[in-house]
Amino acid sequence: MANASGFFTHPSIPNLRSRIHVPVRVSGSGFCVSNRFSKRVLCSSVSSVDNDASSSPSQYQRPRLVPSGCKLIGCGSAVPSLLISNDDLAKIVDTNDEWIATRTGIRNRRVVSGKDSLVGLAVEAATKALEMAEVVPEDIDLVLMCTSTPDDLFGAAPQIQKALGCTKNPLAYDITAACSGFVLGLVSAACHIRGGGFKNVLVIGADSLSRFVDWTDRGTCILFGDAAGAVVVQACDIEDDGLFSFDVHSDGDGRRHLNASVKESQNDGESSSNGSVFGDFPPKQSSYSCIQMNGKEVFRFAVKCVPQSIESALQKAGLPASAIDWLLLHQANQRIIDSVATRLHFPPERVISNLANYGNTSAASIPLALDEAVRSGKVKPGHTIATSGFGAGLTWGSAIVRWR
């Protein structure tokens, strides 16, 4: 029968939890750690041995905890074909290339148009990641779609799973955490691998914020672009573990500084009355407003919280900043990137940035920049990366990872 946790148990077999006597503590990284294992064991998965149907309960073998690591083994990215330059924006709002570049570091951005779709970009990025990882779609155990702008209200991950040809119907679901989404996707993938026995997890960061931008507001329309990026996270021996630690937070009080809230339809015609005798029922149709942002407050939040988060992740990993090969931040604004790097004493040559070409692509920005850095030969196997995402919610999170 199924117990409260969803696992199936036999009435005559004692609860498995009472049969496992492994001392466990919660590590600073947030993963579960057995005191019998190396400090690098951030979590573990449970495996069991098949028993003959005639075995008695007294012969039942206990499941054993198997230490498991995880590592990034492939990446890919995709961007829309339509390129919008600062000069193009100057034709529709009161701005110019120098003004935008000086304040943000952005020169161009890509925007979904025509037959482009977010799912299409995600599938393209995922396909490239799978090819690099040499993993076929049939071997994917989980698809995580990190996005705040899905093509469907109910999520995009299952559509991606279908388009990729994952014939075994693996679990696929969305993670909504705006610009922090990809980092939270990495953390979720690691937890599924270490605690759930998953082997190959596809983590996709993709957003199309251009659909929620007020293109008459020069304070926000200059910032955002559309893109998708993906990585394959794979289970490995604990000695090869490549996700050393993480640090994640949220602060709902900061929502007032960055949001895109639901708004009721402005149409007060037939649909609003609809012959109703219940006052506010049925409810009016609603949609999302354009992005509302207090840029100064978001800047203050980022330059204060991101360095603290990365330092915390480094401490949990037991690594000094000098052990980090690359600093890879969410590509929000070059001033934020430079300020965080300065506070952490990272020299510019060790900071990855492609913001000038794509703008702020939300959950896609980190995997997009990683993919370009890997394919250009900048990031090499064995390199250690400190990465951090931050944005709406407010949410922020950092992870210390090794590439391959």
Amino acid at 184: L
Please say whether the beta carbons of 104 and 220 come within 8 A: no
- Looking at 86, 354, 357, 360, which residue is catalytic? 360
Q: For residue 331, give the nearest of 369, 304, 376 by alpha carbon.
A: 369
Whose CA is closest to 109, among 203, 215, 259, 261? 215
The one catalytic residue among 179, 191, 221, 290: 179
Backbone phi and psi for residue 295, each to the nearest 5 degrees, phi listed first: -60, -40
In b/e form, how buried is each residue of 13-32, taking b as 16+ CB within 10 angstroms? eeebeeeeeeebeeeebbbb
The yes-or-no answer on residue 15 being catalytic is no
Is residue 146 annotated as a catalytic residue, yes or no? no
Q: Which of 305, 330, 333, 354 is catalytic?
A: 330
Residue 360 falls in the annotated catalytic set: yes
Q: 61, 194 in Cβ contact below 8 A?
A: no
**Catalytic positions, written as ranges:** 179, 330, 360
